[in-house]
Structure 1
């Protein structure tokens, strides 16, 4: 099946806003979307591009949906598209994904493996069918939160809920040298996470299960956890505040993300109501990452 590449170029101030709009609009469609800076040819050229790869027969529909998202602030938006072959579009997408450094962690594709800094924890993740390449503010925010907590204590019983590509579980397994239980509600993500754990040579430390929230025998058997990371969405996080908090050991650490800045206060309130104390709050690209501690 041939693919079409949609290219949107615009000035820096609007690029991140449009990228978030597109991610939300096409979240259920599984399209590959990349957002990266380009070298300007002259001072007046546009500085950012967003690429979306869609099946050729869906191009017209997707273009119409993008037009529906256009605002007056995006008057300078330039939108073009082209057809690409089945093999070429993946490589082209990966070319735009620059490595991401967050704390000691360095997330990269295979094409940037040689760029890992000395002493960094390298995590190799390719763009694909599951969420989490490190380029989204939520994933990078979780990595920064992990850096914060790992400098302060060690963890033995670790759970990554909503693992996606497995990026966070892999990062933790590499940094802590401890087993990590990971879960996702999506069977494709479970498969991808297992493949990435193998790719990163930590398959022996990571156990990935298909689970809805906290409902799985492996979760019940392993709990309570010293560290839980949940990078999903604010709604489910608030709904499951009691369940998640209840699986945290006394003095344990909880990292939450997938939370828009405007939603953060409500998420904090939900977890404080279940006896957790807020330790750290950080925002990146419009998304908040929260770190809690279970009161001893």
Structure 2
């Protein structure tokens, strides 16, 4: 039996999208056989985010309107469209071309028969977590890791907001003797990371000292694993500008002096605000980071090296 899939699409500020996500999590819709899924994406040059709510089966439009009303989105125009009956996961994977970033080659299983030689090949299929390598911010982080691979020798690494785990897996390939902590606030992302580690033959660890990757669901930096693994020689944080700014004191504190911090998920227009947050750390609020940057389209990755004193 074929079950129809519908997509409700609208645009709104990030806080409205997050409010809708919170309300949806406690909605009666989540108790159905096929619970809905919500995605929202930042749009360069636009204050509004694109929001897509996918519903399987005939949608109850009154219930959908109630969700929008509860998220203060009642007056926002939206479209509700039935999707063509296709295997959308398979179709989306076929559209994803391999990504080359320095020595890294990120590919989907549909390209497994044509892998190049002399590259670090990482299999990441499109799925329920962020980070196939396609997005400019993931590419910029991979490129930055490649540029520091021959000069930096980190023993402890944190991948904050790991998504699919692609950056943690990339780091493990560069520095096989390192202990890596990969964290995300989303348990689905952690499940995806573990799956991707398995298909890429990367060691999964459950404690510091195993020289593998430990995967932890953690909101904020209060989880005990941060204390167990930190301070860190290298931190990658490909999240969003807002959280990067909010986490500036905590990330600075758990980065070892001389350590490298890679920040991404920010637009070019957000660079100054993010940099200011990190420069205003330290005992006198004037931390003099050594800085590098990689641009990709409208997006940016920052490389910051913490002063030794």
Deviations 1:87-131 (A, max 9, x none): x22111111011111111111111112333211111111111111
In the other structure, the counterpart of 1:116 is 115
Partner of 2:44: none
Instruction: Measure how far apart 1:226 and its partner are.
Output: 0.5
For residue 85 of structure 2, what is the aligned residue in structure 1?
Answer: 84
In the alignment, which residue of structure 2 is the partner of 1:290? 302
SS of 2:234 mapped into structure 1: strand
> How does 1:89-238 map onto structure 2 within 5 Å?
89-177=88-176, 178-204=178-204, 205-238=212-245
Distance 1:120 1:91 in 2: 25
Question: Residue 13 of structure 1 corresponds to which residue in structure 2?
Answer: none
Moved over 4 A (4+): 24-29, 56-61, 67-70
The CA RMSD measured in Å over matched residues stands at: 3.3
**Aligned CA distance change for structure 1 residues 59 and 105 (closer, same or farther; 3 Å):** farther
Asked if structure 1 preserves the Cα contact closer than 8 Å seen for 2:5 and 2:82, the reply is no
Match among 271, 274, 278 for residue 271 of structure 1:
278
| Structure 1: runs of 5+ lacking an equivalent | 7-20, 34-51, 71-79
User: Measured at CA, do residues 53 and 123 of structure 1 come closer, stay the same or move farther in structure 2, by a change above 3 Å?
Assistant: farther
Q: Cα distance 1:3–1:295, how it changes in 2: closer, same or farther (>3 A)?
A: same
Higher mean displacement: 228-237 or 169-178: 169-178
**Alpha-carbon deviations, 1:193-227, whole Å to 9, x = none?**
11111111103321000111221111111111000
Alpha-carbon separation, structure 2, partners of 1:280 and 1:169: 21
Separation in 2 of the partners of 1:118 and 1:241?
A: 39
Does the Cα contact within 8 Å between 1:278 and 1:290 map onto a contact in 2? no
Q: Which has the larger radius of gyration?
A: 2
Residues paired across the two proteins, number: 254
Is the alpha carbon distance of 1:244 and 1:69 closer, same or farther for their aligned partners in structure 2, counting shifts above 3 Å?
A: farther
State the SS of the aligned residue for 1:236.
Answer: helix
